Chains A and B, each alone.
Chain A
């Protein structure tokens, strides 16, 4: 990142401090994010998918509980089941992150954006901060609405209360999981500069990769360190006992993935022409 420029520039305007430059750049990113139908659409989809699935799962589970075997009842997790739809929300937030970043390269707006905010570090920081903040707020709303919708649908007999053991952790964890997934996608998309390529790599890693690999005994130990598999352990009320990672260490692994992707995006932004 270049430091705040010193001295006076060509016109009468003097160089603003880094903080004020970052503030303007964030205002820029915020305006861009809220004025696009596609990015707003991905957020609406994120909400609708998760809450809709929570409602459906909850209603099905309410009727199915009585027919479950004793083992099934013992391992029944109303929190984890209610959060099933969050995997789709996560994909919607990944798409949102990709639209904000590589979407600029796809449409050619990157030239005019970088002409407006030429310091790459300021531009990139503003983008990641704005996108992650929006994702955090949306994730918090989606997670809470999903939780209460699911528990209401499952019904008072078998559902979880927000104060139950492991529930606050699952809720906080879900918000972090969704937010980090979005930040991860922004870093990766900046590095790859292509929406199609990013979604072609991200969705398999985040979604299918962990599901498929987790079912193969030999690679299972390794597969749980994939971003999605590691980050989603916390979504359950009781952590599984057959994984190396626990709820928080899983979030820790996802955080490391995210930091690596964001750093890679930054380095590629600095190094390459645009």
Chain B
């Protein structure tokens, strides 16, 4: 299990992580979500003992990483995909890591097979494509068959096939009962992959919740109506107890009533309408709204995605 307690990291005056606390449970994929610069990588590096916290602790199985014996057998990590010497072959890169933690050499071929790189094991890492380098990073993380995995932005730079591969792979590893913490700045990606979400912004915890609860709490849906007679329709709706707000471009936005009710009221009142459509705010918008303060600019309204429309 992963435990972050009141973790704070300052670089001079800049605060990268600010009193962050959360726990990550085994058996599920936990998404670690936040805009760029929210402190995700710093937290990951603190968990691996690569960064010393200014205050607080980042623990794995109740201990700091530096105290773990043969840590690759307990924690697998994917940080930068290119953290491999370009002049060394995939096989030798993994062989060195295996030696460092007394992992049998046979395991090297095994993990290269698992990630589908057995064909390029004699190729120098510098000649690998980004997708292959990412797979090599995953192979390194799996080398010690660890119960805990930390993956920092694993889908960055991958093609759609690679993204799907990583996604399925993480789910499979979680189903085996492992603890998986995967960071991302893409809400949509996490919605597809993660079961649980830790959302951070400016180094602070913004949400610690299941993906379902996050979507329910943060996605805003409304009915958009375009009409040449907005005032009249607004009165009609108000008469039925339905609230309508002015939207952009002289539209009305209705929340709190199903589209069937709104459609029926429009028909009864015989008001001309050009559009009645259900608009769902995308998860991306929900995420941007949540982190808007922490990145210092408002989420754009254009992120709203139409899920159905009629003229």
Interface mask (B56-71 → A, CB under 8 Å = 1, otherwise 0): 0000111101111111
Which of A68-76, A103-111, A131-139, A169-177 lies at the binding interface? Answer: A103-111
Residue of B nearest to A23 (CB): B102
Contact residues in B for A28 (Cβ distance below 8 Å): 96-97, 99-100
Interface residues of A in 1-21 (CB under 8 A from B): 2, 5, 9-11, 13-16, 21
Least Cβ distance of B47 to chain A in Å? 10
Which of A35-43, A183-191, A196-204, A209-217 lies at the binding interface? Answer: A35-43
B49 within 8 A of A: yes
Interface residues of B in 189-213 (CB under 8 A from A): none
B51 x A10 contact (CB < 8 A) = no
Cβ contact of B69, chosen from A9, A37, A114, A115, cutoff 8 A: A9
| A to B contact number (C-beta, < 8 Å) | 121
A13 x B74 contact (CB < 8 A) = yes
Residue ranges of B at the interface with A (Cβ–Cβ < 8 Å): 45, 48-52, 60-63, 65-75, 77, 79-80, 82-89, 92, 95-97, 99-102, 140, 146-148
A150 within 8 A of B: no
A15-B69, A111-B83, A119-B66 known; A10+B74 contact, CB < 8 A: yes
A274 within 8 A of B: yes
Residue of A nearest to B70 (CB): A13
A112 x B95 contact (CB < 8 A) = no
Residue of B nearest to A8 (CB): B69
- Find the residue from A2, A35, A104, A117 having the highest chain B CB count within 10 A: A35
Least Cβ distance of A152 to chain B in Å? 37
Interface residues of A in 124-161 (CB under 8 A from B): none
Cβ contact of B86, chosen from A13, A24, A25, A107, cutoff 8 A: A107
Residue of A nearest to B78 (CB): A112
B96 x A10 contact (CB < 8 A) = no
B97 x A116 contact (CB < 8 A) = yes
B101 x A5 contact (CB < 8 A) = no
Contact residues in B for A107 (Cβ distance below 8 Å): 83-86
Query: With A and B bound together, what is the CA distance between A37 and B92 in angstroms?
Result: 12
A27 x B65 contact (CB < 8 A) = no
A240 within 8 A of B: no
B79 x A11 contact (CB < 8 A) = no
Least Cβ distance of A71 to chain B in Å? 51
Q: Can you list 22 A-B pairs, Cβ within 8 angstroms, ordered by A?
A: A10-B62, A11-B146, A11-B147, A15-B67, A24-B70, A27-B100, A35-B88, A36-B85, A103-B85, A107-B84, A107-B86, A108-B80, A108-B84, A109-B84, A111-B79, A112-B79, A113-B100, A114-B50, A115-B72, A116-B72, A117-B100, A273-B51
B84 x A112 contact (CB < 8 A) = yes
B140 x A112 contact (CB < 8 A) = yes
Cβ contact of A31, chosen from B82, B99, B102, cutoff 8 A: B99
B52 x A13 contact (CB < 8 A) = no
Extra pairs beyond A11-B74, A116-B100, A118-B66 (10, CB < 8 Å):
A5-B68, A10-B60, A15-B67, A32-B88, A37-B87, A108-B80, A115-B48, A115-B71, A118-B68, A118-B71
Contact residues in A for B49 (Cβ distance below 8 Å): 114-115, 118
Contact residues in B for A9 (Cβ distance below 8 Å): 61, 63, 67-69, 74
Query: With A and B bound together, what is the CA distance between A109 and B136 in angstroms?
Result: 13
Residue of A nearest to B77 (CB): A115
Interface residues of A in 231-274 (CB under 8 A from B): 273-274
Least Cβ distance of B151 to chain A in Å? 13
Cβ contact of A21, chosen from B51, B69, B74, cutoff 8 A: B69
Contact residues in A for B86 (Cβ distance below 8 Å): 107
Can you list the 3 inter-chain pairs with the closest CB atoms, starting with the nearest? Answer: A10-B61, A28-B100, A35-B92
B68 x A24 contact (CB < 8 A) = no
Interface mask (A36-56 → B, CB under 8 Å = 1, otherwise 0): 111000000000000000000
A273 x B52 contact (CB < 8 A) = yes
Contact residues in A for B45 (Cβ distance below 8 Å): 111, 273
A16 x B99 contact (CB < 8 A) = no
- Find the residue from A25, A112, A118 having the highest chain B CB count within 10 A: A112
Least Cβ distance of A44 to chain B in Å? 15
Least Cβ distance of B152 to chain A in Å? 10
Contact residues in A for B74 (Cβ distance below 8 Å): 9-11, 13
Residue of B nearest to A41 (CB): B87
Residue of B nearest to A109 (CB): B85
A5 x B67 contact (CB < 8 A) = yes
